[in-house]
Amino acid sequence: MKRIPLTIASALMAVVATAGTATASQYVAYEGEGFSGRSVVISSCGVSNIPYHGSYKWYGDGQSGRMYNQPNGQGVAHFTLPSDDGAEQRTPVGWQSIFIVC
């Protein structure tokens, strides 16, 4: 059985680990209107509650975002943000949660 030196094995593991990494779509929620105040970036697959509702920016990079007017993705999706384009709104939004489809 051949032995691979530890440094080569570590380098191969790093390449394999990053090969599966992809850029994800991002929803940036802002506390205030006009993209002001505190903000949070949501990019996890599945349901996330949105803590700020003052304005938002969407960076579609492969996954779409289903928007809900209730927490925890409950009820009917009221809008779908595109998987291949950006969107933004400078004024308050009523969305309470997002489901990023991965």
Terminal-residue alpha carbon distance, the chain: 40
**Between 16 and 55, residue with greater pLDDT:** 55
User: pLDDT digits over 24-49, tens only?
Assistant: 899 999 999 999 999 999 999 999 99
Total structural domains in the chain? 1
Band the pLDDT of 10: cuts 50, 70, 90. very low
For residue 66, the domain's CATH number is 2.60.20.30
Mean pLDDT of the region 2-29: 54
Could you tell me if residue 2 is inside a domain?
Answer: no
Could you tell me if residue 81 is inside a domain?
Answer: yes
Question: Domain containing 92: what range?
Answer: 23-100
Mean pLDDT of the region 82-100: 98
Mean pLDDT of the region 93-97: 97
pLDDT at 21 over 50: no
Can you point out the beta strands (E) in 1-102?
26-32, 36-42, 46-49, 55-59, 65-68, 77-81, 86-89, 97-100
